[in-house]
Amino acid sequence: MDTERTPPPPVEQVHAAVERRGQSLVSLEDSPQVSISVMTPPPPVLLAEPFAKPTEPLEGFPEDITPPENFAMVCPYIYRSGMPKKRHFGFLRRLRLRSILTLILEEYPVQSQKFLEHEGIRLFQFGVAGNKEPFADIPESVMTEALCVLMDRRNHPILIHCNKGKHRTGCLVGCLRKLQEWSNTSIFDEYRRYSAPKSRSMDQQFIELFDVRPVLDQIDPENVPDWPTTLYPLQGRAEQ
């Protein structure tokens, strides 16, 4: 297992990168169905390495190894689940996460924010309402931004979650699978395995029609993951 990974960029660079896209770190969309934010822990508690020794348990958070609902490994250094709760914090500590990417619209729970700050975990919030008929759907631009976070290994290890780890998380993982050149049949089989018994045809249509080219245009070729994806031409370009 390769443990030599590029350290996360300074907070100022993260802020500058977001601001260059004309976005605010607090709320990047006016729509009530979309919100994007980035919460960076105070610099003194940022992890220097992705697999640094875990910090001591935070007082009031008992150690436990219970995983969140629908937890699974997506691929090396990327995990998925439902919304982590207090009883899951001990398990999350063992993952030694560098980042969490959430798709919930609501403000992130204060208790969870306190845990992230203590552990030095950066929070990326791409709040979307999900694909629900007849009016709500996931904007492709938000999904593209979320995929760019996943495709930057400086954010790894990273956990993706929504409330249940089913539909919104399934859409993001499905779009990631397109970057990994999975067939639609395999993508939909995986989506239905986690979304059952309430799979949504609109989610599967969204995945099928999602265009990965904007993602390829925006990611940093020097920091793409090592696992097989459509990004091999970019990896080669970075090595030249």
pTM (global) more than 0.85? no
Residue 175 appears among annotated catalytic residues = no
Residue pair 178/161 in contact by the 8 Å Cβ criterion: no
Which residues, at least 6 apart from 213, have a Cβ–Cβ distance to it below 8 Å? none
Catalytic residue from among 75, 148, 162, 171: 162
* pLDDT for 167 beyond 60: yes
Beta-strand relationship, 99-102 and 122-128: parallel
Question: Mean of the pLDDT values across residues 91-98?
Answer: 96
Q: Which of 198, 221, 231, 191 has its CA nearest to residue 132?
A: 198
Band of pLDDT at residue 18, cut at 50, 70 and 90:
very low
Q: What mean pLDDT value characterizes the chain?
A: 79
